[in-house]
Every structure is written in structure tokens, then in C-alpha cells.
Amino acid sequence: MATAIYAASLDPITRGHLWMIQQGARLFDRVIVGIGHNPGKTPTFPLEQRLELTRTSIAEAGLDGRIEVDSFERVFLVDFARTRGADILLRGIRNESDFTYEMTMRHVNGDLAPDMLTVALMPPRELREISSSFVRGLVGHAGWEKVVGRYVTPGVLAAMQERYADRLNL
């Protein structure tokens, strides 16, 4: 039984992330979405809310029950994967800089866990440029909700409207 870990900060989860999760479900028996804490970033949404938004988005997208959502902090991804019984790291590559970063991480992960396989997928053109930071950067412009709504699920959009309500006087 092949189990894959798809790890990201998911701050917030986007339709690009959901595409990766959906493809993982097509390829593997079980997919664990691991929401990691990146010490180099200050999250917009607290961990508990990111977990809930991820679970809700997966349900809104109609993805099946072979997907679990969990979190990890201050451990290497390969160690988290081992604790969850995963033998595959699922990664996304949107562009050249992602490729360079993911290649480096694959080598580091290979040093730490030579038996761990890394599988990288490239999203379709319409999802290629979507990232959490890109989506957050759209907030505040006139009509931002309509634009952001193309890239996130309704539940995430509602959470963003609430999160930014004071700043935007909504």
C-alpha cells in the first residue's frame, strides 16, 4: 500500500494545492496532507484554522476519504512521513525556481532517508502561478473577493474576508 505525504504551509490552501491532493489520491492508496510550520514565515492563519480550512476545502472539492490532514513542527519532513507510515513525498513544481528548490530538497531528503521516494507533479497551466502568497497579495484591491474566489474554495474566501475585515473596513 503506497502512502504519500503532501506537505505545505497551506496559508491558505488554494485550488493548486487541491489539484495536487487530487492527483495524489489518483496515484496512491493513501495521501496525508501535512501542514508544516515554516520558521521563516509568519502565518496569516493559525495552525488550527489552516487544518480546518484544509479539511473543509478537501470536502468542498469532493475528494475521497483516503486523504488525511495532520500537522508537524520542528521535525524533518522525512521523519514526519515515517511516523505516519508514508514512503513517498509528493511535491509540486510550478516553475523553474520551484524545480531548483525541490531538486535540492529531494537530495537532502535522500541523504536523510534513502528509501523515501520523491514524486513531483506539475500543475496544469491555469493553476501554475497560484500560490498562497500570491492569493494573499490580491487582498485589498477593488473587487479582490471575485478574483481570489477563482483560486480558493468558498470556505477559504469567507475566512479571508473575515481575517481581513478590520483592515479593509468590510
pLDDT tens digits along 34-59: 999 878 888 999 999 999 999 999 99
d(CA 78, CA 85): 10
Tell me which DSSP letter residue 82 carries.
H
- In the prediction, which pLDDT does 92 show? 96
- In the prediction, which pLDDT does 168 show? 63
d(CA 161, CA 157): 6
| Residue 108 domain-assigned (yes or no) | yes
Which residue out of 9, 57, 131, 132 is catalytically annotated?
132
pTM: 0.92
Catalytic annotation on 125?
no
| Residue 156 domain-assigned (yes or no) | no
Q: Which of 76, 108, 74, 84 is nearest to 30 (CA)?
A: 84
- Residue 121 binned pLDDT confidence (cut-offs 50, 70, 90): very high
- Residue 32 binned pLDDT confidence (cut-offs 50, 70, 90): very high
Helix (H, G, I), strand (E, B) or coil at 2: coil
| Residue 124 domain-assigned (yes or no) | yes
Which residue out of 41, 66, 141, 150 is catalytically annotated?
41
Which residue out of 15, 17, 30, 50 is catalytically annotated?
17
Catalytic annotation on 37?
no
| Residue 169 domain-assigned (yes or no) | no
Q: Which domain holds residue 73?
A: 3-128
Catalytic annotation on 17?
yes
38 is written with which cell numbers?
515554516
85: domain CATH number is: 3.40.50.620
Which residue out of 84, 94, 128, 163 is catalytically annotated?
94
| Residue 135 domain-assigned (yes or no) | no
User: How many domains would you assign to the chain?
Assistant: 1
| Residue 54 domain-assigned (yes or no) | yes
| Residue 21 domain-assigned (yes or no) | yes
pLDDT digits (tens, 9 = 90+) for 79-119: 999 999 999 999 999 999 999 999 999 999 999 999 999 99
| Residue 158 domain-assigned (yes or no) | no
Catalytic annotation on 132?
yes
pLDDT for 5 beyond 70: yes
